[in-house]
Structure 1
């Protein structure tokens, strides 16, 4: 829906402005040499790992592609997180980007387009491994802090939103834009979106609306807000916690966030919340009704959202609305199992390949959806996307 490990000598490059300085890290190392883990070689530089003062650090390092999540990245992150979780000494895990521009802009979906048998195998494996990682972050036994600085969309949300601590900055941009490419908000979107207040999740999931800066906290997606020029200080405090656990990590983040929030503006959607809550209600009969309500409302905001929705894949809109309805009653594990069935069925269809072609390949932004109207997508069509896969193909978590 998305590797030479870091050495001490390259830390100034890995930690740009707003991150930990080399001198700080050396002080931390000196105070805790007995628990220091030496970096080991890896296959590529897409992901780097470091280990300081009982803290495992995951650094997403594919800046030119905005850290688009690939299968190889997932296959490195998952076992390292499992290793830290069970080694008996690691107390905290932090995931962040080496670039201030993006935490993770989504999955590397261009790699999934081949309609050959190899392409099919890659799609099966990519989503299976990605969803396993999403489930791990949501059920991790160690405190897990995601620094969602910069662009965070799709697969980037899957790496962060299910964990207990999500730190946004003024440069954070959050969105789940999948309906624009013939997909649906996966990576556990069926779990976290329906649980946002004021039906914001339905609104975000259908429209792909982008939340920026402090709005990410106001919406309930981030748990904390820290200006980017204070990330260095916050990360230092986290790493220096004598005994890191949920409460001690929360205390550090709470103190840092509370002072920062006071100078931030209110939620930019505050005035629209009653409208969003009513027009995008998860209890609405169907997507067609949402369209009708937006038309009858007639406000500038409603008209703008209607115009956006009219560009999206009709199948994706109806599929997304149904997944959110079902997801509000499921735990994360069952949501991911459901989404894996959905995504495999989507990969057998037309709109995903057409949407990616239009938005990411040819960039003509003129997708030819099939069907191209909501009326052309029946309830039976949508139900088929939720069909259980064979026992050997289903996702096992």
Structure 2
């Protein structure tokens, strides 16, 4: 049990609230363990007809994971980072295959670990202030928590755009792209949860959809995705930059500038991981991600990115490579190598 998770049963609804509002509900190991315990218990409990997860406070659903712990664990050479990734990825897989309706209310920041808690579930309900992103390349890392699985399935252009740049999607864009598949205005979330707490949920989608229909509306409609997204369909990151540089308009220039600020190694690994993920099932994608994550602990850029963004906050990382052209295929492939760890057992 942990005070960082609040859980209750209302009628036939199992309700989980991430309870670290001052930390934007960022995930810890204990939070992942408690959510896993609840979901496993509720899946076989005949009283529970659906599960809903949301975040405390009004700023975030969940803005990520405990990145400082990962940094410190890697520096110390202990097992905390591996243990966190194992239980977090196992939770992502549990959500992906969950047999009862799983509803995520994704208002405010939805980043990193928060994406893993929501996008793999059946119902992702955006609010007015949803801000969705996978910003990992900015800390010398890659979009994990199933990012290599769901990003390419949005379309390789969109997936590579989100994964490489860390672009932030507002509510309308999240709905247009499909990371959110429903919209309920934020001021109706409380009453929506109360409506779900009636004793009518039976483990099927029908009663959940009936209640959702009462509260949903079309949502904001101003999400015109730029035609320049086609640049992200190129064969590698260098070619993407070349395509963007050849395009007119502020949007293309902004994306190119964003990419050039990221770790060249992380960009190269991210591009390849998203490309490979299109051909993997969810389990195999998560197994590959565990290998990549553990291998990132051996890189300079992982620690330098976290230092520059979150510890010293000078926003001036010194990456291991000055340019994409300096990154070799061998260096990229090294991060995909199987680790010495058991590959099929995520949970401790």
**The residue matched to 2:246 in structure 1 has which SS?**
helix
Which has the higher relative contact order, 1 or 2, with Cα contacts under 8 A spaced 6 or more apart?
Answer: 2
1:19 equivalent in structure 2: none
Corresponding residue to 1:314 among 264, 267, 272? 264
1:253 equivalent in structure 2: 212
- Find the aligned partners of 1:362 and 1:117 in 2 and give their Cα distance: 16
- Find the aligned partners of 1:231 and 1:354 in 2 and give their Cα distance: 40
Cα offset for 1:353?
Answer: 0.5
**The residue matched to 2:118 in structure 1 has which SS?**
coil
- Find the aligned partners of 2:199 and 2:171 in 1 and give their Cα distance: 27
Cα offset for 1:334?
Answer: 1.0
Cα offset for 1:201?
Answer: 1.5
Corresponding residue to 2:315 among 365, 388, 397? 365
- Find the aligned partners of 2:109 and 2:170 in 1 and give their Cα distance: 9
**C-alpha deviations, 1:149-186, integer Å up to 9, x for none?**
11110000000000000010111110000000000000
Cα offset for 1:82?
Answer: 0.3
Cα offset for 1:388?
Answer: 1.3
Cα offset for 1:112?
Answer: 1.7
**C-alpha deviations, 1:271-296, integer Å up to 9, x for none?**
x0x320x1011xx2111100111111
How do 1:33-52 and structure 2 match up within 5 A?
42=1, 44-52=2-10
Q: Is the 8 A contact 2:73 2:81 kept in 1?
A: no
2:299 equivalent in structure 1: 349
Which region of structure 1 is more displaced relative to structure 2, 202-211 or 107-116? 107-116
Which region of structure 1 is more displaced relative to structure 2, 91-100 or 117-126? 117-126
> Normalising by the residue count of structure 1, what TM-score does the alignment of the two structures yield?
0.84
Matched, 1:230 2:188: yes
Q: CA RMSD in A?
A: 1.6
Which region of structure 1 is more displaced relative to structure 2, 85-94 or 136-145? 85-94
Corresponding residue to 1:195 among 153, 161, 176? 153
Cα offset for 1:298?
Answer: 3.4
The gaps in structure 2 that reach 5 residues or longer are none
The gaps in structure 1 that reach 5 residues or longer are 1-41
1:328 equivalent in structure 2: 278
1:275 equivalent in structure 2: 228
Matched, 1:91 2:74: no
Corresponding residue to 2:102 among 144, 167, 170? 144
How many aligned positions are there? 345
**C-alpha deviations, 1:169-220, integer Å up to 9, x for none?**
1111100000000000000001111111472111111100101122211121
1:28 equivalent in structure 2: none
Q: Is the 8 A contact 1:146 1:167 kept in 2?
A: yes
Q: Is the 8 A contact 1:340 1:395 kept in 2?
A: no
- Find the aligned partners of 1:382 and 1:341 in 2 and give their Cα distance: 13
Q: Is the 8 A contact 2:53 2:104 kept in 1?
A: yes
2:343 equivalent in structure 1: 394
